Amino acid sequence: MTVDHYEGGFEIPDFDPTREHFYIGQRFYTKKEASLAVKHWALHNNRALTTSRSKTWELEVRCYSYKTNNCPWRLRVTSRADDGFWTVRQWNPHHTCDGSEHNVESTQLDVNVIVDAVMHLVRSRPHFRIRLIQDEISHLFQRQISYRKAWYGKQRAMEMTYGNWEESYNKLQDFFNEVQSRNPGTQVQFRFDDLIGGVGVRRQFRSVFWSFRPCIEGFRHCPPVLVVDGTFLTEKYSGTLLMASSFDGNHNILTDDFAIVDKESIDTWVWFLHCIQELVTDRQNIGAISDRHAGLRAAMDQIGGGWVWRWCSRHYESNYNSHVKDPNMKARLKSIGKLSLTTAAFSKFHWRFAETVCYSP
């Protein structure tokens, strides 16, 4: 029997781990497939096994009690250059122990088994919740695993499918070069730090700005207003994603500009806004709307070009509501951003607003 090979994973479609025995001459394509088959068999038969010998051409597995109780259960798989398969050469299916001495989950339900179980999820929907892995393992093996173990399994599967974080950052320049070749007119700007060490000067990624050509063209037909904001990146390497958006004549949102930086600061906001002025638009007197971040406020004073900074009424409303629990005043404050108030109406509201802020407990 030749075991079918599953490309990119360790799954063995023709191997039934619920069968009572392996058999002499059974073949696998790789050492990993053979090892995974043993682990599946152990989990379904509630037996703790251990690898007693592992070489480039040989894999030997024994019962966990072979040293303490001299249990004879043994499986030996080897590879030969003449056919390239991993073939079962020796197989003793008999146990003299009761199998209760060791925990099966800790010895057999390792990260490779979890990766095999969730690889199809990673490829089809990589942002699934960790709880789904725990449910999948429970369904397949009728066993529970911790959140931490499931998380490590997902991380390994993600790396095998998409590469690791370090490789992704190293490929950023190649990625954006390809984007620019496929989307002529797309603007990209990198910043690097030069690190001096024992091997000379090494360039380390610091930040990147980009704006797609359709977005650049679209902004030419939008009002001279940009809504700028930043949000945290929450994966292995922390950072901040900066964005600038505008609105077309139908009030649809057009996100024009993006940047990945280490954090929100005066330096990063000045660099981001300068990239917009140099690479995206030369329009003057643009109105920038944002929250009250101190770094952005200071950056607006440095960039020039007649740009004007204004607070976002939604952020202002949220900050006000966190300090003053008055739903009526919150609704009135919200109306400022939606209605054109007369001078008298605004003065009346401002007086009531100031009174609330000063005298609310």
- Tens digit of each residue's pLDDT (9 = 90 or more) over 155-188: 888 888 887 777 777 888 899 999 999 999 999 9
pLDDT at 12 over 50: no
pLDDT at 310 over 80: no
CA distance 94 to 73: 5
The dihedral built from the CA positions of residue 120, 126, 131 and 132, taken in this order, carries a sign that is: negative
Tokens coding 291: 């929250």
Evaluate whether 240 touches 263 at the Cβ level (below 8 Å).
Answer: yes
Which one is predicted more confidently, 12 or 18?
18
- Tens digit of each residue's pLDDT (9 = 90 or more) over 51-69: 899 998 999 999 888 888 8
Average pLDDT over residues 323-336: 68
CA distance 43 to 62: 14
CA distance 96 to 66: 9
- How high is the pLDDT of residue 10? 41
Which one is predicted more confidently, 345 or 70?
70
Which one is predicted more confidently, 90 or 81?
90
Which one is predicted more confidently, 26 or 311?
26
Q: Is 162 left (phi over 0), alpha (psi -120 to 50) or beta?
A: alpha
pLDDT at 4 over 50: no
Name the phi and psi angles at 342, rounded to 5: -70, 165
- How high is the pLDDT of residue 219? 92
CA distance 109 to 42: 9
pLDDT-derived band at 127 (thresholds 50, 70, 90) equals: confident
3-state secondary structure of 144: coil
Average pLDDT over residues 108-132: 85
Average pLDDT over residues 13-30: 73
pLDDT-derived band at 314 (thresholds 50, 70, 90) equals: low
> How many other CB atoms are there within 10 angstroms of residue 353's CB atom?
17
pLDDT at 112 over 60: yes
Strands 58-63 and 74-79 turn out to be antiparallel
Share of residues in the chain with pLDDT > 90 (%): 21
What single string gives the DSSP state of each residue in 15-28? --TTSS---TT-EE
Which one is predicted more confidently, 268 or 357?
268
Q: Is 159 left (phi over 0), alpha (psi -120 to 50) or beta?
A: alpha
- How high is the pLDDT of residue 352? 55
Beta bridge partners of 28: 86
Encode 284-343 in three state secondary structure: CCCEEEECCCHHHHHHHHHHCCCCEEEECHHHHHHHHHHHCCCHHHHHHHHHHCCCCCCH
- Tens digit of each residue's pLDDT (9 = 90 or more) over 252-293: 899 999 999 998 899 999 999 999 999 999 888 888 888 877
CA distance 296 to 290: 8
Widest CA span in the chain: 95
pLDDT at 356 over 70: no
Burial group, residue 12, by CB count within 10 angstroms (0-12, 13-18, 19+): buried
- How high is the pLDDT of residue 245? 93
CA distances from 75 to 87, 198, 292, 314 (A): 11, 50, 67, 67
Average pLDDT over residues 75-93: 88
Spell out the long-range contacts of 178-182 with Cβ–Cβ below 8 A and sequence spacing 24 or more: 179/210, 179/212
Tell me the pLDDT of the chain averaged across its residues: 80
pLDDT at 212 over 80: yes
